[in-house]
Chain A
């Protein structure tokens, strides 16, 4: 039982490049989330998927797209990376109404030059 697995752990991009962050959970959770973490700003929600087949915007969705590929996988895509997207990205999942606890992945440190 690996929990929430994110890849890659580190990535350096040039401005304008694109990339996809992958996330998978093996806990049969219904909901999945993408957060970004910047110093002094806590964790800010980018997108979330309350259940398979649905996605919704969070606080800071601009410049990102997501895909809930199946119940296990939720990917985050940067189409044209900008320096303002330099951050640590966390994927998380939660089970459902009976347990709202978020389980986080280990994070992706992304630098956009």
Chain B
């Protein structure tokens, strides 16, 4: 089955700096790569996703890049703010035809220091 590894496990940045989280996946059949944010005590929520036919996607201060050849994808947060402090999870899926079974990475705890 799919295996998703996520690094780093914790990340501390100064407010205004950038944060980068990296993930690798093992199954070349995976074609959908979402990122979820989970604030303390809350449910995970989708913040951005990318499909295998796209190399990069941006949404305001967040962006995701995908390298299918190397089987890795990354989340970039620019101009970090205290409200970006949370745990971020990457995930990979073989797509709807295979049941949309997401395999999650272990998570990155991001702390933005004011």
A interface list, Cβ under 8 A from B: 31, 33, 35, 40-45, 48, 50, 56, 58-59, 90, 94, 96-97, 100-102, 104-107
Contact = CB atoms under 8 A, between A and B. Distances in A.
Contacts of A48: 99-101
B86 interface: no
Contact of B43 (A33, A42, A59, A107): A107
Nearest to A35: B104
Contacts of B34: 100-102
Nearest to A90: B43
11 contacts: A31-B99, A40-B9, A42-B106, A43-B102, A48-B100, A48-B101, A56-B99, A97-B96, A100-B32, A100-B49, A104-B44
Contact of B100 (A31, A43, A90, A104): A31
The bracket for how many chain B residues form the interface is: 20 to 34
Interface of B: 1, 4, 6, 9, 32, 34, 36, 42-46, 49, 89, 93, 95-97, 99-107
A10 to B, nearest CB: 12
A96 B96 contact: yes
A35 to B, nearest CB: 8
